[in-house]
Amino acid sequence: MGGVDKGLQNFNGMPLALHTLLRLQPQVGDVMINANRNLGAYEAFGVPVWPDVLADYAGPLAGFLTGLERCETQWLMTVPCDTPLFPPDLVERLLRAAQEQDAEIAMAAAREEDRELHAQPVFSLLRVELLESLVRFTHGGGRKVDAWTAQHKTAIVRFDAPGDDPRAFFNVNTLAELHQLERP
């Protein structure tokens, strides 16, 4: 997005991150935000804001690690701020699959433009006990979400049933995409 803070860009009249927060809150207990800049703007949303616990930019795993270190429940739900239409029953479906399959991770999967089903690893429900594994992985230089999740029993949860929004996992990377996604 040209160097601007993606989470603070407006989507339907409010910052993307706030839209995401409001969509996630009814699905979970406590919420926290992982951000590395403009912390005051994110703190204005009224929830704790934590920067990455890793010194170097480690991508999504740094956010996972930050969340797991601060999580006070059995599960941590991760969602990015740039995918504002994620399902309103996301957590319920992931939790059900994790419990049914006795999985350590439940991850969303959806069809993309190529019509193929693709895992959406940043939409994951993680057992808090995975903290030690993630610390070892990241301190060993690991940065790939797929490489880390492959080490654990993962339930892949399809979000391509009739009634599922085909745009639910579309992530915006440009202002033009953001404005296009605002249209019904």
pLDDT of residue 55: 77
Burial (0-12, 13-18, 19+ Cβ within 10 Å), 4: exposed
Instruction: Please choose, from the candidates 5, 143, 120, the residue with its C-alpha nearest in 3D space to the C-alpha of residue 63.
Output: 143
As a 3-state breakdown, the chain gives helix, strand, coil percent values, each rounded to 5, of 35, 20, 45
Q: How confident is the model at residue 2 (pLDDT cuts 50, 70, 90)?
A: confident
What pTM was estimated for this model as a whole? 0.94
**Structural domain boundaries enclosing 55:** 6-182
pLDDT of residue 3: 79
Residue 142 placed within a domain: yes
Q: How confident is the model at residue 46 (pLDDT cuts 50, 70, 90)?
A: very high
pLDDT of residue 184: 73
Count structural domains, the chain.
Answer: 1
Supply the CATH number for residue 83's domain: 3.90.550.10
pLDDT at 15 over 90: yes
pLDDT of residue 41: 97
Place of tokens 């049933």: 161
What percent of the chain has a predicted confidence (pLDDT) above 70?
Answer: 99
Strand pairing partners for 125? Answer: 77, 106
pLDDT in tens, 63-75: 999 999 999 999 9
Q: Is 31 left (phi over 0), alpha (psi -120 to 50) or beta?
A: beta
pLDDT in tens, 89-147: 999 999 999 999 999 999 999 998 888 999 999 999 999 999 999 999 999 999 999 99
Residue 1 placed within a domain: no
Residue 29 placed within a domain: yes
* pLDDT averaged over every residue in the chain: 94
